[in-house]
Amino acid sequence: MEQARILIVEDEEKIARVLELELIYENYYVQKASDGLEGFAMYQAEPWDLIILDIMLPGISGIELLRRIRSQNTKTAVLLVTAKDSVEDKVSGLDLGANDYITKPFQIEELLARVRSSLRFQTEAALKTEAEAEEEQWLSAGDVRLNESAREVYAGGEPVELTRREFDLLYYLLKNKKQVLSRDQILEQVWGFDYIGETNVVDVYIRYLRNKIDKPFGTAHIQTVRGIGYVVKDFS
């Protein structure tokens, strides 16, 4: 795993120094800021996996800094460091999206445990978002899958080579899965309003597509709706 990046925002120099040494010893990449404004500048300058954020800070408070961070970023984990008697800060900090908090004075082992759990949470959340983003790139119907940005098509689990027009046609059909599309609609959307040529071009390309995504696999994702046009369905 990559070295996790931790920013410490803490004005008490002694505490900041001890934290820094302990975290470096645990093989984290660590930087520190000694007030809220410096913390915000450093937050913006580099990517961070975790920010250890003291609430009582000169410049802008930890709560205000947290508000600014969360208004642009929900991925970086934030571990709040609170004074013993500031229950309100703790509550508003968690409301603002801090992942966890620790109360001063704390044992270093407790802090390291919180750091590990915050980073684990952050990694899992990031992985989930990546998987979701990857999934969103795909359109599918039954065994047919199409990735728009990579311009890849799979049918029956195998990659299928399509021409540009075939790809655009399949994209339009999948995007409007389960809707019956007329030949005119398809012509307008895939070939454009100003298309001049054979009116049976849609039928011709549907045949090309079927020969590539259905016929070899014994499926019938693209179905003819007599007198109207075509529809793509999940199951053939």
Residue 100 structure tokens: 């966890």
Taking the alpha carbons at both ends of the chain, their separation in whole angstroms is 44
* C-beta of 39 vs 142, nearer to Ca ion: 39
If one asks whether residue 49 binds Ca ion (CB under 5 A), the answer comes out as no
Provide the token pair at 78: 């934030």
Structure-block tokens of residue 168: 């655009």
Selected range binding Ca ion among 26-34, 55-63, 96-104, 137-145, rule: CB under 5 A: 55-63
Residue closer to Ca ion, measured from CB, 55 or 144: 55
Give the nearest distance from C-beta 176 to Ca ion in angstroms: 58
Q: Would you say 61 or 185 has its CB closer to Ca ion?
A: 61
For Ca ion, the closer of residues 57 and 153 by Cβ is: 57
Q: Determine the Cα–Cα distance for residues 19 and 30; give it in Å rounded to an integer.
A: 9
Q: Is the CB of 34 or the CB of 219 nearer to Ca ion?
A: 34
Stretch that binds Ca ion, among 35-43, 48-56, 104-112, 154-162 (CB under 5 A): 48-56
Q: Is 11 in the site for Ca ion (CB under 5 A)?
A: yes
Residue spans of beta strands (DSSP E) within the chain: 5-9, 29-33, 50-54, 77-82, 100-103, 138-141, 144-147, 152-155, 158-159, 181-182, 222-225, 229-232
CB 137 within 8 A of CB 149: yes
Tokens of 61: 């408070």
Interacting stretch for Ca ion, rule CB under 5 A, among 54-62, 100-108, 208-216, 224-232?
54-62
Residue 10 Cβ, how far from Ca ion at the closest point, in Å?
6
Q: How many residues bind Ca ion (CB under 5 A)?
A: 3
Q: Is residue 16 a contact partner of residue 57, using CB atoms and an 8 Å limit? A: no
Among 9, 51, 52, 54, interactor with Ca ion by CB under 5 A = 54
Q: Pick the stretch among 8-16, 69-77, 87-95, 210-218 that binds Ca ion (CB under 5 A).
A: 8-16
> Distance (Å, rounded) from C-alpha 56 to C-alpha 12?
10
Residue 82 or residue 99: which is nearer to Ca ion going by CB?
A: 82
Q: In angstroms, rounded to a whole number, what is the distance separating the alpha carbons of residues 219 and 160? A: 15
Q: How far is the CB of 100 from Ca ion (least distance, A)?
A: 18
Decide whether 11 or 214 has the Cβ nearer to Ca ion. 11
Q: How far is the CB of 97 from Ca ion (least distance, A)?
A: 20
Q: Which of 15, 18, 56, 126 binds Ca ion (CB under 5 A)?
A: 56
Q: Which two tokens stand for residue 137?
A: 């790139």
Quote the CA–CA distance of 216 and 161 in Å, as a whole number. 13
> Which parts of this chain interact with Ca ion (CB under 5 A)?
11, 54, 56
